[in-house]
Amino acid sequence: MTSMPPEMIHILVNMTSLVNVYLDTFESLHQLPESRHFPQGLRELRLFADAIEQDPMPILEKLPCLVVLLLQGYQGPTMVCSAQGFPQLQELELHLFYVKEWRMEVKAMPKLSRLQLYLCRNMKKLPEGLLHLPSLKELELWVVYPDSEEDVTRKKLQGRGCKVITIERQGPTYLPPSQRRRESWLSKEYGLRTTRHW
């Protein structure tokens, strides 16, 4: 596993006015840079990696202005979102996570309105902390853990009016919009095709 290249960290540190950052594609990352290395006014971050070794949430949850976050490739067994973390986050997409347990403390992500999980097959259940999010209106589950339909947290979210979308089929036709846009961009700019995971 490697760290993010120093040249890239240097750019992030010195371009303090950045509000949108798109990083694609890392083969592997040991961990993300410390939160102080990211622009503190950052509102949208999209980071695609084949493998991230250490939990990225303790770093990213400290970004005070982050509204949209898309992450791909975390391979650790647990993920923790702390109380008071992600104070402004409204949209979260997690792709190809190998997490078995997601722990979310009360008062984490207080403004989250949309959550998408894509190919998170190892997750045993949704975190109960989602039930403490008053703004959560939409949950998308794209080819996730086998027992998702019986998940207690999912049922409770549906019961209180949260829209739950489940996509169980796999293939190029059944990609989340963000993945389709990414593949189109890689193909157009570099003639690349991404690795399939089905």
The per-residue pLDDT string of the chain (198 residues; one tens digit each, 9 = 90 and over) reads 567 888 888 888 888 899 999 988 788 898 899 999 999 999 999 999 999 999 999 999 999 999 999 999 999 999 999 999 999 999 999 999 999 999 999 999 999 999 999 999 899 899 999 999 999 999 999 888 766 778 899 999 999 999 999 887 655 545 566 665 555 544 444 444 444 443
Q: Would you tell me how many other CB atoms lie within 10 Å of the CB of residue 64?
A: 12
6 CB-contact burial (10 Å; exposed 0-12 / middle 13-18 / buried 19+): exposed
Domain boundaries, position 97: 6-190
Taking the C-alpha atoms of residue 118 and residue 175, their distance in angstroms, rounded to an integer, is 9
Q: Would you tell me how many other CB atoms lie within 10 Å of the CB of residue 7?
A: 7
In a domain, 124, yes or no: yes
pLDDT at 194: 43
- DSSP code, position 29: B
Taking the C-alpha atoms of residue 6 and residue 96, their distance in angstroms, rounded to an integer, is 26
In a domain, 177, yes or no: yes
CATH code, 59: 3.80.10.10
In a domain, 101, yes or no: yes
Determine if the peptide bond prior to 25 is cis (ω within 30°). Answer: yes
| Number of domains into which the chain is organized | 1
In a domain, 198, yes or no: no
Taking the C-alpha atoms of residue 155 and residue 131, their distance in angstroms, rounded to an integer, is 10
In a domain, 38, yes or no: yes
In a domain, 197, yes or no: no
In a domain, 196, yes or no: no
Residue type, 141: L
pLDDT at 94: 96
In a domain, 195, yes or no: no
Residue type, 110: P
